[in-house]
Structure 1
Amino acid sequence: MGMEKLLNQWLWPQEFWLPPTITWHDIDEGTTGGSRQPLPRDLLVVFPLALAFIAVRFAFERVVALPLSRKLGVFDRVQVRVQPNPELEAFYLKKKKQFTQHELVCLEKQCGVRLREIQNWLRLRHNQDKPSNTKKFCEASWRFTFYLIAFTAGLTFLINTSWFWDHRECWRGYPKQPVAESHYWYYILELSFYWSLLLCASVDVKRKDFKEQIIHHIATISLISFSYCANFIRVGTVVMLLHDSSDFLLESAKMFNYAGWKKTCDSLFIVFSVVFLGTRLFVFPSRVLYSTFMESLEFFKPFPGYYLFNGLLLVLQALHVFWAYLILRMVYKFIFLGKVEKDERSDDESDVEEEGEGSSMEEECCWEQTRETLNSKLVSLANNCVLNNLTHQRRNMNSRLPKAR
């Protein structure tokens, strides 16, 4: 009991997490009578659940997603394996793609391999690390399955609640608001899933918005954890439902994109764009943010946790604007080019970029050879010019000698 009291004083001071004149005891009294009581220690269950999600995910990808990818016709490009070379392998692992032309020249002298062969080896070695379409399809299918189930369950749990239609009900009677068992598990499973995504971020396919995704996962985990501890569960369930409503559409579009079903992918992408822009740029700021910033002050005075909660929501909104920019770029390509050429949030290296990289390497190599050949020809030409001048002068002198005699 002494340790628990000490942790409550340092980690969960009521002056920070709760409005003035409200204590943790008030929340305990308000959630009696068969309803669940939101306590910070309840969040400890998310860590074993996150590990369970990871185990279920790997089983799902092998048992369900992999056979499904074959039925849908997901095609993997055959990658050419490079010849083993310890020195080039060590250089590649150290530098990846962050190397200069000078470093390649030094590596050429060190290994005794031509510059063009080194560049081709590095390009092929980089291609070996690119994830296959099957791997990307399996990851997208797992996220699609969870987001679809979460959205369906969340909509079922919330559609009959008062705060789903009137956001002022999110704050009425706060913090003495009972928590239903279904809302508790909706919260815990969503939090566990985002923890599993964060733990697997290093082994998943890295995309162009990798850093933004990490920030999104951290902000989401912080929001869900804080809102549960402070009993902001009502508005928290609305935020999670808004996010799930477009996420499963995006993942389904990715699945059909990897399978080569372009028309289906384009149609799903248009539907996703409409839902995303409507929920993230209109509903979220005009309804949720307005309610948390303005309507909530009708029921309690601002406190430190209030500013933290709204600050995290603003971080999410900033990410929404960033992703909306990428989506609008894709919509522009779809309208003017007739199709979605590539996912703006796709892998770090697309096929087009890879081909451009290879051609640039070959151009640099050809330029090096051409420059060396040109230098040698200029030297030989200069030498020939000097020899021709000397020979011409010698002939003139020989022709003048008889006349002088």
Structure 2
Amino acid sequence: MEILRDFSDIFWSAKVWLPSNTTWADIASISHSESRDLIWCIPLALLFILSRYLIETKCLPPLGKSLGIKSRKSQPAAPNPILEAAYIKNYRLKQKTTVGLAKELDLTERQIERWWRLRRAQDKPSTLDRFCESAYRLLYYTCSSIYGLIVLWDKPWFWNAQSVWYGHPYNPIDRGLWWHSMISLSLYCAFTITQLLDNKRKDFWQIFVHHVTAALIMVLCWGCNLLRVASLVLVVHDITDIFLEPTKIAQYAKYRKTGDCLLPVFTVVWIVTRLVCFPRLIYSCVFEAPRFVSMFPALHLITCAFLVLLVLHVLWTCEILRVLHTAIRMRQTDDVRSSSSEISDNAEGSQSLANNSHRNKANN
């Protein structure tokens, strides 16, 4: 116990978490964020996991089906204990594994590969599952953004990032800001846990790093009484997701025109929030904070975590722009085909046949 007490004293040293010449006793008289409160994120995270399960499995599937979204999955792979054991051991099929299994089971390599494709597709969530996940996230981020705006709207530092440093660390934390930060931290913990349990997707590590980094920022801000900074980060991120999830839902429900309209709107909101507002906060941490407070290790760690998120934002922005470019190009192609079909109705028979042949080749 004495070793743990010594470690705690070193870890929670005021030199790490507070500006120089400031001690924990100096801010004891104000209502500040205390590290012992972080224990509440554990039961709240479990509550989020339970509520997500109930909402996604009981409440949202009927809504998705009413939109015409089906839960039908691909053809299941034939039961095979040997292949199943190999699949569980290694999700990705290697050439050496394929050759060995083909010899052991007296099957062709192509049969092994086909079974593997079916088995991987069997693990992937159905369109209805993806709809339920997006709908749940939309529900949460909408409520979180509304609550965050209500809490922060009348705060001067919500409109001027520089003012978050005024008077630090002697800034009292009201209950609204406390709950906004606690709920968000609990949700990031819940998302991290469920992501480890869900099927891994191609962007698994990017999302995992994002969730862990966001949770780390919350914990660091909690430890050094910088929940004002954390709240600005949360609002910037939550508002973006309000436009992301409807775009996904429109895609799942095959509302193509709606999705075509939402995608550019989401792209603009993403760029404004993630590549304009968020870097403005990073700028405040790097250049404005030193003018009002003496820099300390925890603040340097927060800035580094911000930079990690910014790198992820840039990578995802490139992907979003690629998707938007593809969507616009496909839309233009469809408009050209539609115009061609109208012209071909009044053309001569041979020209109409040529147009139809060209259209069939394009569709294939």
**After TM superposition, is the score higher than 0.5?**
yes
Say which SS state the counterpart of residue 200 (structure 1) adopts. Answer: helix
Q: 1:141 aligns with which of 89, 114, 135?
A: 135
Verify: 1:37 aligned to 2:32, yes or no: yes
Which runs of structure 2 are paired with 1:11-26 in the superposition (5 Å)?
A: 11-26=11-26
TM-superposition CA deviations, 1:76-109 (whole Å, max 9, x none): 4442233322222223223333310x54333222
The 1:265–1:205 alpha-carbon spacing in structure 2 relative to 1, beyond 3 Å, is: farther
Say which SS state the counterpart of residue 40 (structure 2) adopts. Answer: helix
Q: How big is the shift at 1:2?
A: 7.8
Which runs of structure 2 are paired with 1:165-244 in the superposition (5 Å)?
A: 165-244=159-238
Q: 2:284 aligns with which of 281, 291, 296?
A: 291
Q: Is the 8 A contact 2:123 2:199 kept in 1?
A: no
Corresponding letter in the other structure for 2:44: L
Say which SS state the counterpart of residue 160 (structure 1) adopts. Answer: coil
Structure 2 equivalent of residue 106 of structure 1: 100
Say which SS state the counterpart of residue 81 (structure 1) adopts. Answer: coil
Structure 1 equivalent of residue 304 of structure 2: 311
CA distance in structure 2 between the aligned counterparts of 1:108 and 1:315, rounded to whole angstroms: 44
Corresponding letter in the other structure for 1:221: A
CA distance in structure 2 between the aligned counterparts of 1:229 and 1:105, rounded to whole angstroms: 55
Larger Rg: 1
RMSD: 2.2
Q: 1:96 aligns with which of 91, 116, 119?
A: 91
Structure 2 equivalent of residue 159 of structure 1: 153
Q: How big is the shift at 1:280?
A: 0.9
Corresponding letter in the other structure for 1:305: A
CA distance in structure 2 between the aligned counterparts of 1:78 and 1:293, rounded to whole angstroms: 50
Structure 2 equivalent of residue 301 of structure 1: 294
CA distance in structure 1 between the aligned counterparts of 2:143 and 2:54, rounded to whole angstroms: 18
Structure 2 equivalent of residue 334 of structure 1: 327
CA distance in structure 2 between the aligned counterparts of 1:121 and 1:309, rounded to whole angstroms: 47
CA distance in structure 1 between the aligned counterparts of 2:87 and 2:229, rounded to whole angstroms: 49
CA distance in structure 2 between the aligned counterparts of 1:280 and 1:311, rounded to whole angstroms: 16
Say which SS state the counterpart of residue 201 (structure 1) adopts. Answer: helix
Q: How many residues align?
A: 334
Structure 1 equivalent of residue 265 of structure 2: 271
TM-superposition CA deviations, 1:127-172 (whole Å, max 9, x none): 2122111111111111111111101111111111110112222011
Q: Is the 8 A contact 1:256 1:262 kept in 2?
A: yes
Q: Is the 8 A contact 1:26 1:175 kept in 2?
A: no
CA distance in structure 1 between the aligned counterparts of 2:64 and 2:232, rounded to whole angstroms: 33
Say which SS state the counterpart of residue 131 (structure 1) adopts. Answer: coil
Corresponding letter in the other structure for 1:26: D
Say which SS state the counterpart of residue 309 (structure 1) adopts. Answer: helix
5+ long unaligned stretches in structure 2: 333-364
Structure 2 equivalent of residue 66 of structure 1: 61
TM-superposition CA deviations, 1:307-357 (whole Å, max 9, x none): 111111111111111111111111211222228xxxxxxxxxxxxxxxxxx
CA distance in structure 2 between the aligned counterparts of 1:215 and 1:10, rounded to whole angstroms: 27
Q: How big is the shift at 1:270?
A: 1.5
Q: 1:254 aligns with which of 241, 248, 255?
A: 248
Say which SS state the counterpart of residue 195 (structure 2) adopts. Answer: coil
CA distance in structure 2 between the aligned counterparts of 1:250 and 1:269, rounded to whole angstroms: 8
Structure 2 equivalent of residue 362 of structure 1: none
The 1:157–1:192 alpha-carbon spacing in structure 2 relative to 1, beyond 3 Å, is: same
CA distance in structure 2 between the aligned counterparts of 1:304 and 1:109, rounded to whole angstroms: 59
Verify: 1:84 aligned to 2:67, yes or no: no
Corresponding letter in the other structure for 1:315: V
CA distance in structure 2 between the aligned counterparts of 1:240 and 1:193, rounded to whole angstroms: 12
